Amino acid sequence: MAIVRVQSGDFDVGRELEALTAGRHDVGAVASFVGLVRDANDGQPIRAMTLEHYPGMTESALEDICAQAHSRWKLIETLVIHRIGPLAPGDRIVLVGTASAHRGEAFAACEFIMDYLKTRAPFWKKEDTPDGGKWVDARESDDQAAQRWD
Partner 1 sequence: MVTVLYFASLRESLGVSREQVSLPPGTPTVSELLDALRSRDGRWPEAFAPGKSWRVAVNQQMASLATPLRPGDEVAFFPPVTGG
Q: How far is CA 19 from CA 62, 99, 103, 135, in A?
A: 19, 11, 18, 35
- Considering only CA atoms, which of 113, 140, 110, 135 is closest in space to residue 124? 135
Nearer to partner 1, 70 or 92 (CB): 92
Q: What share of the chain is helix, strand, coil (3-state, %, to 5)?
A: 35, 35, 30
The whole-angstrom separation of Cα 57 and Cα 33 is 22
Q: Does 123 bind partner 1 (CB under 8 A)?
A: yes
Of 13-21, 24-32, 56-64, 70-78, the window that binds partner 1 (rule: CB under 8 A) is 56-64
Nearer to partner 1, 12 or 143 (CB): 143
CA angle at 126 for the pair 121 and 129, rounded to the nearest 5°: 150
CB 74, min distance to partner 1, A: 25
For 128, other C-beta atoms within 10 Å of its C-beta total 16
Exactly one of 15, 137, 148, 150 binds partner 1 (CB under 8 A); that residue is 137
Q: Does 121 bind partner 1 (CB under 8 A)?
A: yes
Q: Does 136 bind partner 1 (CB under 8 A)?
A: yes
Q: Does 5 bind partner 1 (CB under 8 A)?
A: no
Q: Does 117 bind partner 1 (CB under 8 A)?
A: yes
Q: What is the DSSP letter of 150?
A: -
Q: Does 57 bind partner 1 (CB under 8 A)?
A: yes
CB 60, min distance to partner 1, A: 6
DSSP H or E segment with residue 131: none
Q: Would you tell me which residues interact with partner 1 (CB under 8 A)?
A: 35, 51-54, 56-57, 60, 82, 93-94, 114, 117-126, 135-138
